[in-house]
Amino acid sequence: MPDLTVHGESTDTLNELRRAPAYYDSSLRKQAQQCMQDTRVTILSTIYEWVDSLDKPPIFWLHGPAGTGKSTIAHTVAEECRRRGRLGASFFFAHANAECSDPNLFFSTIAYQLSKFDPDLRQHIVDGVKAHPSPQDASIPTQLEEFILTPLRKLSNGPAREPIIVVVDAFDECSDTRKASEILQLLSAKIPSLPFRLKFFVTSRPEPEIRLILHPDIHRISRSFDLLRDVDASSTNEDIQRFLRFQLSMIGKEYYLPSWPREMDVETLAQQSGGLFIFAHTAIELIRDKDVMDPESQLAMLKNIGTNGTPAFNLNALYSRILWKAMPETASTTVQERVVTIIHAIVGLRAPLALCAIERLLGLDRGNIRSALNQLRSILIVPDNDKETVQVIHPSFARYIADEEACTEKRFVVGGRQLHSQLAKDCLKQMKTHLKQNICDFKDFTTVEAPITDEETLDLNSQTLSEELKYSCENFAAHVFFADRQDGELCEMVAEWANQYLPYWLEVLALTKSFHNALPSLRLLSNFCGIASASHQSPQLLADAIRMVSESYDDIKRFPHQIYTSCLGFCPLDSPLFKQYSQLSTIHVLSGERKNWRPLLHAFKDPDGNVDSLTFSPNGTILASRSSVGKIRLWDLETRESRMLACHTLRRDTAFTFSPDSKYIAADGSVYRVTTGEEVLVPGICSAFSPDGLYIALGCTDGTIRLHDIQAPSLSSFGELFGHGGTVTTLAFSSDNKFLVSASSDDTIRVWNYSS
């Protein structure tokens, strides 16, 4: 009989991993579906051959434009791998959901799923999580190394196993392109060397930053498949016709249309689709619309689009027709404005919200959203239950209404900053209405430990901590950051929030297991206020709040009452935060008041011993230290995480320098990628970065100097300099990038005209 106590403890440990609801079969993915039988035969056969092979590259990259059916293929692959007992994890990115597009949740979500997949692997992952002082705040490289790779290496000592498959969909919808590149670089560097086979199936649009890492012509770690070029167009057209024929026949049966489907209609719609499955799917939803109840007229409207345009043009024309019919220009101004506001909100939300929660967030009457969206079910998921979420069916619609040229229905066009400004204001209004000290009215707040997990407590306070309030607290800072900084009303509202509601906001974040958002949100707000509202004291208040949260992060995260009992009251007397909020403190300092914030921001301990050299990255986010035993460690000043370079022991006098863009660090003639710690070039003896950040020079034992382009994805070599008769011992560039100087064991110093 299993030890239930041990299992319960491991479950509690694993629950410390932050994770997104990004599973392939998540209830949030309401339109998820598999490929229709007898369609996509060639591509699926190619993918399953890769799944079963032991000698294929560890990454399969499926790419194509929006609407070509990548997500449906990914869902089909995930379901088939699950059926075979091979699906270790899945992560389906969704730009409309803040969690499902958050790169910081990618590896932790996968680690959690892997722990459920394999009981032997589970304990190793639990050990990795237990060993970390704060798993919820672990950096992206640490999550991969400690929660996935190290456990897999321990597992690899056992009997041989089939490869584990991880399915990743819509990687281009990751919300942070820099961190997305970091994830891909980590995968390309770490996964191929695993003794145990872990394979990643990845889909995305062919964005340049993804192509630079995954395309097999650049790196030999992936298999690439282009949905436009590697699939015969006639095969795709046949698949779309098969889908249309089946769906139209179902509609014919629903509406008692004996002549359906007419083959000429199938051919016309397939031709209009031009290889885009999303066009065919949207067309079917429009024809089937239960609120219109007239498939023939809907089909006639679609046929008026014509067949001469490009696939993208036809899809945009389809969206325009749907919007025009849903809200004719004869509708009253009030109705038009309400419909536009609702559509913009749904498109702009960073996470899906229930229909009733959106109504409350926007301050609308009950029923307003349902009546506004009744004619838009072909592009939006409108639930029958008000407590279920409203979602955009395909991200191409969101891009359409943000494109002034593509969107011919100008009433619906919205700029990104305008959209975020309005949502930020809606969130701020929510917080102004509901935030207060001890928001849940606990009888003894000092005994409450966050986050709230007790079901009875959650039920008791479900009205207080409403879905729309939690959304507002977690996401308003991101909306503010991307908003129009010239919006005077928004600037005033942010200033009011900083002056009246900031501590209460911290309390809600802690209570709802969202305190990890506190410091990133405060930094976003500080950036906004520093530019947009210099006349207010908001920047100073936010700077103080960052200091207070940094000093007491773990205390507030666990016991929110500490905001009022030990944080505000102990702020420096002259700080704007103390002056504004000291009256909320339940403790009053009688003597020994602080005059200033502690100068100490971070205290790191190098496990390798004494540190004898330090340097900052040019962007100020990374500190590099070298221990007395010759190991270089990189410290992230935001997450307080560290990682060691994959280098041999360095000489005591070794200099180490960052590239001007902070992406690389060089030491002892070796060059390492900062995000992963991996070595990226065959080492030399010495090195130097050009001041413009474009090149690195490496000196070698044979007297040559190798020149590499550090802007190229593989840091390709573009030349060599010859002349020294001995080992090149040191290098330096002139500040104007014109000259490179080198010294050698042949007792010569040479100056090179580098600009030529």
635-681 per-position pLDDT tens digit: 888 767 777 776 656 666 677 899 999 989 998 888 888 887 778 88
Q: What percent of the chain has pLDDT over 90?
A: 54
Where do we find the tokens 């000196």? 699
How many whole angstroms separate alpha carbon 351 and alpha carbon 96?
6
Please report the pLDDT score of residue 696 as a whole number: 93
Please report the pLDDT score of residue 536 as a whole number: 66
Please report the pLDDT score of residue 205 as a whole number: 92
Asked if 343 contacts 407 with a C-beta cutoff of 8 angstroms, the reply is no
Q: Which residue has the higher pLDDT, 190 or 80?
A: 80
Q: Would you place residue 751 in the very low, low, confident or very high pLDDT band (cuts 50, 70, 90)?
A: very high
pLDDT of residue 321 exceeding 50, the answer is yes
Q: Would you place residue 400 in the very low, low, confident or very high pLDDT band (cuts 50, 70, 90)?
A: very high
- State the amino acid at position 266 in one-letter form: V
**Mean per-residue pLDDT of the chain:** 88
Annotate 84-98 with b (16+ C-beta within 10 A) or e (fewer).
Answer: eebbbbbbbbbbbbb
Please report the pLDDT score of residue 559 as a whole number: 93
Helix, coil or strand: residue 244: helix
Asked if 83 contacts 160 with a C-beta cutoff of 8 angstroms, the reply is no
pLDDT of residue 161 exceeding 90, the answer is no
pLDDT of residue 32 exceeding 80, the answer is no
CB neighbour class for 411 (10 Å; exposed up to 12, middle 13-18, buried from 19): middle
89 Cβ neighbours under 8 A, 6+ residues apart: 109, 110, 113, 114, 117, 166, 167
pLDDT of residue 543 exceeding 60, the answer is yes
pLDDT of residue 534 exceeding 50, the answer is no
Give the mean pLDDT of 331-335: 88
Helix, coil or strand: residue 580: helix
426 Cβ neighbours under 8 A, 6+ residues apart: 345, 361, 362, 363, 472
Count of CB atoms situated within 10 Å of the CB of 537: 17
425, 494, 532, 535 from 488: Cα distances, Å = 11, 10, 8, 12
- State the amino acid at position 488 in one-letter form: G
* pLDDT (tens digit per residue) in 361-397: 999 999 999 999 988 999 998 988 999 999 998 989 9
Name the residue among 39, 38, 43, 79 with its Cα closest to residue 61. Answer: 43
pLDDT of residue 699 exceeding 90, the answer is yes
CB neighbour class for 676 (10 Å; exposed up to 12, middle 13-18, buried from 19): buried
Which span out of 131-140, 637-646, 742-751 was modeled with the highest average pLDDT?
Answer: 742-751
How many whole angstroms separate alpha carbon 666 and alpha carbon 661?
13
Where do we find the tokens 């695993």? 194
Q: Would you place residue 217 in the very low, low, confident or very high pLDDT band (cuts 50, 70, 90)?
A: low
pLDDT of residue 232 exceeding 90, the answer is no
How many whole angstroms separate alpha carbon 235 and alpha carbon 662?
47
Sign (positive/negative) of CA torsion 551, 553, 556, 558? negative
Q: Which residue has the higher pLDDT, 121 or 640?
A: 121
How many whole angstroms separate alpha carbon 194 and alpha carbon 222?
15
How many whole angstroms separate alpha carbon 311 and alpha carbon 309?
6
Where do we find the tokens 């032997």? 120
- State the amino acid at position 713 in one-letter form: P
Please report the pLDDT score of residue 561 as a whole number: 94
Please report the pLDDT score of residue 456 as a whole number: 43
Please report the pLDDT score of residue 160 as a whole number: 58
- State the amino acid at position 752 in one-letter form: W
How many whole angstroms separate alpha carbon 134 and alpha carbon 17?
9
Q: Would you place residue 721 in the very low, low, confident or very high pLDDT band (cuts 50, 70, 90)?
A: very high
- State the amino acid at position 433 in one-letter form: T
How many whole angstroms separate alpha carbon 173 and alpha carbon 175?
6
How many whole angstroms separate alpha carbon 646 and alpha carbon 296?
66
Please report the pLDDT score of residue 729 as a whole number: 92
70, 133, 615 from 151: Cα distances, Å = 31, 17, 33
Give the mean pLDDT of 158-185: 87
Determine the Cα angle at 568 with ends 563 and 572, to 5°.
150
* pLDDT (tens digit per residue) in 36-51: 999 999 999 999 999 9
Q: Which residue has the higher pLDDT, 300 or 592?
A: 300
Name the residue among 582, 617, 608, 583 with its Cα closest to residue 693. Answer: 617
Name the residue among 358, 321, 322, 324 with its Cα closest to residue 341. Answer: 358
Return the C-alpha torsion angle 602, 608, 614, 620, nearest 10.
-50
Calculate Rg over the CA atoms of the chain.
29
pLDDT of residue 1 exceeding 50, the answer is no
Please report the pLDDT score of residue 681 as a whole number: 82
**Least reliable range by pLDDT among 153-157, 261-265, 378-382, 505-509:** 153-157
Give the mean pLDDT of 518-523: 92
How many whole angstroms separate alpha carbon 63 and alpha carbon 277?
14
Q: What percent of the chain has pLDDT over 70?
A: 94
pLDDT of residue 75 exceeding 50, the answer is yes
- State the amino acid at position 77 in one-letter form: V
* Beta bridge pairs of residue 493: none
